Amino acid sequence: MDYVLGWDGDSAILEVELTYAASQKDSTVFIFGDPGFGGQNDIFKVIRNIRVTRPEVVRIDEADRRITIYHNGAKNHRITYEIEGSLPVDKPTTISLTELFRPVISKGILTLVNM
């Protein structure tokens, strides 16, 4: 897997491009963590604008926190998405402390927590 992160230094959006080698011919599945560990109950409010390149097709199952990419014969695999890193005005400290793997983005500062 090869991640490329893009940030303009000002907005609350982190752009992510992931290029990967598929272990299965037909599809690849990404599952975003356990809500009991990391605290992100609705991950798709943070991860958005998920896209793949044709002929691949992406399907999102929000309830199971699952993204499935159907390869449809593609040899190269890439998924792009955005991470909304702004914190709610009413509870910024609570969110930044309880959502363990969420990047925190404020004007001029990007904080990423290690796994």
Query: The tokens of 44 are what?
Result: 């798709």
pLDDT digits (tens, 9 = 90+) for 21-79: 988 889 999 887 666 666 566 788 888 999 999 999 999 998 888 899 999 999 999 99
pLDDT digits (tens, 9 = 90+) for 71-109: 999 999 999 999 887 776 676 665 555 565 666 676 777
Contact 104, 1 (CB under 8 A): no
Length of the chain: 115
User: Would you state the pLDDT for residue 75?
Assistant: 92
pLDDT digits (tens, 9 = 90+) for 20-31: 998 888 999 988
